Amino acid sequence: MSETASSSPVVVLVEPQMGENIGAAARAMANFGLTDLRLVRPRDGWPNEKATAAASRADHVIAATRVFDSVEAAIADLGFVYATTARDRDLTKEVVGPVEAGRRLRGFAAQSVKTGLLFGRERWGLDNDEIALADQILTLPVVPEFASLNIAQAVLVIAYEWRKAGFEAEDGGLPFGMPERSPPATKEELVHLFEHLESALDERSFFRPAEKREPMVRNLRAIFQRVQLTAQEVRTLRGIIATLEGRPTRPTKVKGPAKTSKDDEAPLPDGDGGEPG
């Protein structure tokens, strides 16, 4: 899913002190599709070489970063703003966690409302006047005795929840999906595998004593049935059995003892399972 600058929240860092933290925050933003970074009175000025180095290929975020003289100016065009803080403030504002915030931000985006996330200084966060400018407080479920997070860490967590809220599946948006599998083996293919295996085991006198052959066969078949083999996996297993039998070919169908003829043979699959014979 691609995000646009108009749909994703703005990240505002208030008086950030270290360029490395700005760069790490930019990288966290890029990881989860946020692109609009705004700085309020950065201590070491802007641009900042240390921020660029720490951004680690999030150059598009760094290049578009804007600097403002006040929080009011930085959020002037936003319709809804979260103030991030872990401190207990004497302010009558609703407090939400990152999961709920992600959902609400998505809802605002669907209504074309531009939103923002306000982060405070490394040492002491946001002051009450700055929090008062926000609509709600966003806090993380941290351990109270150790509630302080690095700015980039906080940006990462909230950006992650924002992105995750945009997918229906709980683990949606992964950069790769499950590998394509061969179709499930048909019952006919499974029966041929069973018969092939059982005939090979008969040749090696595996089923002993003879009167226990029937329950042993049932148990073997139950093992393979639980695995839910694909057609390719069946072909691979039959190739393995034929190799263990010491034959350069394997029967395409096995009925009874494993005997092959020129009309009932197929090449072995390749080492990775190959194609059907």
Q: What tens digit of pLDDT does each residue of 172-196 get?
A: 555 655 566 788 999 999 999 999 9
Q: Residues 82, 151: one domain? A: yes
Q: Per-residue pLDDT for 265 more than 50?
A: no
* Any domain includes 272: no
Tell me the pTM. 0.65
Nearest CA among 178, 161, 157 for reference residue 170: 161
The share of the chain scoring above pLDDT 90, in percent, equals: 68
Nearest CA among 144, 94, 151, 97 for reference residue 120: 151
Q: Per-residue pLDDT for 252 more than 60?
A: no
Candidate from 50-64, 185-199, 235-249 with smallest mean pLDDT: 235-249
Interval 138-164 mean pLDDT: 88
Contact 98, 149 (CB under 8 A): no
pLDDT of the residue at 60: 95
Q: Residues 56, 157: one domain? A: yes
Contact 231, 277 (CB under 8 A): no
Q: Per-residue pLDDT for 270 more than 60?
A: no
Q: Residues 51, 102: one domain? A: yes
State the CB neighbour count (10 A cutoff) for residue 80: 18
Instruction: Report the chain's mean pLDDT, rounded to a whole number.
Output: 84
* Any domain includes 231: yes
Q: Residues 156, 207: one domain? A: no
Q: Residues 157, 191: one domain? A: no
Model confidence band, residue 153 (pLDDT cutoffs 50, 70, 90): very high
* Any domain includes 258: yes
Candidate from 65-69, 73-77, 131-135, 265-269 with smallest mean pLDDT: 265-269
Please compute, for residue 116, the number of CA atoms within 13 A of its CA located in the half-sphere on the CB side: 27
Interval 145-154 mean pLDDT: 85
Structural domain range at position 82:
10-164
Strands 10-14 and 66-68: unpaired
pLDDT of the residue at 248: 65
Interval 30-39 mean pLDDT: 96
pLDDT of the residue at 255: 47
Q: Residues 29, 129: one domain? A: yes
Interval 30-49 mean pLDDT: 95
Q: Residues 241, 105: one domain? A: no
Counting the structural domains of the chain, the total is: 2
277 vs 9, which has greater pLDDT?
9
Q: Residues 36, 129: one domain? A: yes
Q: Residues 155, 196: one domain? A: no
Q: Residues 34, 141: one domain? A: yes
pLDDT of the residue at 258: 43
Model confidence band, residue 5 (pLDDT cutoffs 50, 70, 90): low
Q: Per-residue pLDDT for 254 more than 60?
A: no
- CATH number of the domain that residue 145 is part of: 3.40.1280.10
Phi/psi of residue 52, nearest 5 degrees: -60, -40
pLDDT of the residue at 219: 95
